[in-house]
Amino acid sequence: MLNLLDIKPLPLATAGLDPVKGEIKSVPEDFVVEEIPAYEPAGEGDFLYLWVEKRDLSSPYMARSLAKALSIPSMEVGMAGYKDRRSVSRQWISVPGHLEKETDKVEIEGFKILRKSRHSNKLRTGHLHGNQFNILLRSNMDEQNQQKIKKLVERVTETGLWNFYGEQRFGKNLETLKIGLDLLAQDKEASRRPFYLRKLALSAVQSALFNEVLRLRITNNTHKKVLQGDVLCMLPQESKCHARNLQEDQARVDQGLMAVTGPMQGWKMYPKPTEEALLLETKVCESFGFKQEVWKGFGKFLMGARRCMVYPISELNLGFEADGVRLSFSLPAGAYATQLIREITQQDAAEEPEC
């Protein structure tokens, strides 16, 4: 039986090309990310939406600090998605509407409220289209490296971004992933961990298994090939459907209109793959000792979902500067900008844990 903690290096779409070594996140301003919301707040409703900027703060820490300042449980702070800690990030978050006056008194280092509005519902995970990135890769950008990075970007644009989860998903020294495995094993000490950490830890297990399914399909050259029973994702809306006509669906995938999805395992995954695709995913799960019943008993933590395996890349702009090269691009929700940088440097970034 394989051990999920024995994670092998992830494959590279740019293998065979010369990398451009460099550093990101030397200072938070080198990594700027701005959320692309799924909708704008309506201007009225029971929830207060805050367009905030955080600098060098993790999203969970920001949520906990804000909740403490407002004297509410951290679960009442809503956000559409986590942003990198070592960054300057702008995003919407929501809090109960009756706290509007109290938000004027909030003082958190590295945190600013830029504007406020109202909406009828709490902001929840997934309520965003994606993120816009502006990243400085600090490197010697002589003529040779400029040509190298152009070829690397051309390759990633051609192959699409292999949508692996980055190392930050699993915590420092895989600690978050270890906690998730302990939770699935009904470890009592793990079950006493804070709510936010238990949620992240179980998600880390899902993420690691997703990576292994994607790894296998890259090895089999089926990561962009529609198999019988696959669940597909329509782009850019990301609504899911089953493969119906393999030839027609394959043409849409080749055109970048659809993508093949992989599993975020859970007890209520919908839609669920069938036939050849289901057999492949079940094989990966069982190779690590996971049976389907293991996901039961964790409620909303492990309902399950589908995730695109490869995203088309478009409008990736390069700007050469004295300190390196600045990359400007957008990615759909859930895709990691650090995975794109990894394809260029061909080295794993020293990622900070999400919690």
Among 281, 342, 341, smallest CA distance to 133 is for 341
The two counts, helices (H) then strands (E), for the chain are: 9, 14
Q: At what angle do helices 195-219 and 59-70 cross, to 10 degrees?
A: 160
Query: Both tokens of residue 320?
Result: 């050469």
Alpha helices in 135-194 (DSSP H): 143-159, 175-184, 188-191
Neighbours of 9 (CB within 10 A): 7
The verdict on whether 18 is a catalytic residue reads: no
CB burial of 49-65 (b: ≥16 within 10 Å; e: otherwise) equals bbbbbbbbbbbbbbbbb
CA 286 vs CA 123, 216, 292: distances in Å: 36, 14, 9
Catalytic: which of 6, 30, 46, 84?
84
Query: What pairing do the DSSP bridges indicate for beta strands 258-264 and 231-234?
Result: antiparallel
> In whole angstroms, what is the distance from residue 4 CA to residue 179 CA?
12
* Contact predicate 258/233, CB 8 Å: yes
CA 209 vs CA 46, 84, 202: distances in Å: 38, 22, 11
Catalytic site positions: 84
